[in-house]
Structure 1
Amino acid sequence: MATEGARIDRLSLLLDQFDHASEMARVRLAGLGDEEYLWEPVPGCWSIRQRGAATTPRAFGPGEWVLDLGAPDIPASEYAEVARQAAGGMSVGKIAEDWSVSVARVEEVLAHTGPAEPDETPVTTIAWRLGHLHFCFAGGWEWTFGELRQEPKLLVDFTPSATVALERFWAVIDRWRDSVATVTDEQLDTIGFSQYPYGSDPDEPFAAVLAGANLELIHHMAEIALLRDLWRARGASASLTS
């Protein structure tokens, strides 16, 4: 691989990682149909649903279709992050506000010792994972480069159409990428450059926010890729057990 003239500054490295992940995701998502997009591989999945059919307590969206969301909690996979927040000087009250949980729940997490029990989180559909990413990047852009006032949960009009969902999603991703490319070194180091209200963005330098956004894209797209593999193989599995 040629490296002559390659840029290795922080922003270039973060953008290159983001671009590589996006390119792979576009290839893996090619040909996604509505049935596969909404496929629920096991009972009790979280997905997008018509408002009147929603069963989760905090399902949200501005239109007819909403994204499933359960009661707020701190998953075991995030216990280490809570410990880092506390070690960094964040108060228990602020951590509780950050995760939308009680102070008692934060204290319980901080007092935990030994290995954490595996999370019993629901399986989510491709529609849910794509909708979640769309919501995160739309809100992240609005509260960093936009007017910093629109409620993130009202920014994405969820849809049962895979084609429409992908068109809207990639438009948001392209807008995010174009805006990030204009960021200066000073802004990368600025704590609170992003004021996105869900999470710790206001308490972190923007370089850390970008690294987190890349991780969000990478890990959810990997999950979507696996669901596509399972969808493609579902007929073979059925024939083997018949």
Structure 2
Amino acid sequence: METGRVRTDRLGVLLDQFDCVRERAQIRLEGLGDEEYLWEPVPDCWSIRRRSEAVTPRAYGPGEWVIDKGAPDIPAGEYAEVARQAADGMSVAKIAEDWSVSVERVEEVLAHSGPVEPDISPVTTIAWRLGHLHSCFAGEWEWTFGERRTDPHQLVDFTPSAALAQERFWSLLDRWRDAVGRVTEDQLDTIGFSRYPYGSAPDEPYISVLWGSNLELIHHMAEIALLRDLWQARF
């Protein structure tokens, strides 16, 4: 259904949200230069680096440049999600597989009671956040609409060029938007329509996966916008 230019059907609401975020994000990233793109505002940032200079145990990428990734764990902010997964009937073994942790670690999380300590997360550069988004959307496309064969960690050739990174990213989002726009009502309700292997996508109806993808784009683009503000105010 459409009311004026606004769609009110389930897919339409998510597509309109995506389009709005993408438009604002592209405007917000205009003028991004290489120095700002790679700027590390504090020590020990996560970023993209040459493979020979990687500082994290699971940094990945198919080419010379890789993106930082730390040891697997379940952050405190996701304890409630793990409890929900268990309550919905997901086995401890499957939860452990999805999070790349041990069964014992999942059992520890499920046994936790009371408040949790805030996560201490690394500060990440604009290059990292944009590369992370690119990797996520590339993997989601491949494992939903593509051949579902290539390791998501090998899909994005990270680059130190802000202009090239954006060119590749916006092109990918165009392909993503085109494919999602053709999803049917039945596919929205299909559990496992996305087979993206990192996370719970294969265990969720596709409409939930789309909701999560929009959220990922929104919150990382908001973080990029803040980093741009800090860059401008650093003097």
* TM bucket normalised to smaller: over 0.9
* 1:5–1:170 distance in 2 versus 1, CA, 3 Å: closer
Instruction: Name 2:74's counterpart in structure 1.
Output: 74
2:108 corresponds in structure 1 to: 108
Runs of 4 or more, structure 1, over 4 Å off, are none
C-alpha distance in structure 2 between counterparts of 1:159 and 1:71, whole Å: 23
User: Within the alignment, does 1:191 sit opposite 2:176 as a pair?
Assistant: no
How much has 1:4 moved relative to structure 2? 3.3
CA deviations 1:139-161 (Å, max 9, x no partner) are 00000000010111000000000
Matched, 1:84 2:84: yes
For structure 2, the residue ranges without an aligned partner over 5 or more in a row are none
> How far did 1:34 drift?
0.2
SS in 2 for 1:234: coil
- Cα distance in 2 for partners of 1:4, 1:68 equals 45
Identify the residue that residue 138 of structure 1 maps to in structure 2: 138
TM-score (norm 1): 0.95
CA distance in 2, matches of 1:119, 1:141: 30
Cα 1:179–1:110 shift into 2, 3 Å: same
Distance 2:211 2:83 in 1: 19
Residue 5 of structure 1: how far off its partner (Å): 6.1
Deviation at 1:112, TM superposition (A): 1.1
- SS at the partner of 1:193? coil
Alignment of 1:167-186 (within 5 A): 167-186=167-186
Separation in structure 1 between the aligned mates of residue 5 and residue 228 of structure 2, nearest angstrom:
38
SS in 2 for 1:175: helix
The answer to whether the aligner puts 1:214 opposite 2:214 as a matched pair is: yes
Partner of 1:151: 151
Identity, % of aligned pairs?
76
Quick check: 2:7–2:16 contact (8 Å CA) kept in 1?
no
Q: Counterpart of 1:168 in structure 2: which amino acid?
A: R
**Per-residue deviation, 1:30:** 0.5
Whole-angstrom distance in 2 between the partners of 1:64 and 1:109? 37
CA–CA distance in 1 between the matches of 2:70 and 2:5?
48
Q: Alignment partner of 2:233: what SS? A: helix
Secondary structure in 1 matching 2:66: strand
| Residues 175-218 of structure 1 deviation map (CA, whole Å, 9 limit, x = unaligned) | 00100000000000000000000010100000000000000000
- Matched to 1:227, the amino acid is L
Q: What amino acid is aligned across from residue 212 of structure 1 in structure 2?
A: G
Q: Tell me by how many angstroms 1:127 deviates.
A: 0.3
2:49 and 2:67 in contact (8 A); partners too = yes
Deviation at 1:86, TM superposition (A): 0.4
Segments of 5+ residues of structure 1 without an aligned counterpart are 236-242
SS of residue in 1 equivalent to 2:190: coil
Deviation of 1:40 (Å)? 0.2
Contact 2:96–2:102 under 8 Å retained in 1? yes
Distance 1:67 1:200 in 2: 22
- The aligned counterpart of 1:50 is 50
Residue 114 of structure 2: SS of its match in structure 1? Answer: coil
CA distance in 1, matches of 2:176, 2:79: 29
Q: Distance in 2 between matches of 1:7 and 1:141?
A: 23
Return the alpha-carbon distance in structure 1 between the equivalents of residues 227 and 123 of structure 2: 10
CA distance in 1, matches of 2:3, 2:115: 42
- Opposite residue 164 of structure 1, the aligned amino acid is L
Superposed displacement of residue 7, structure 1: 2.2
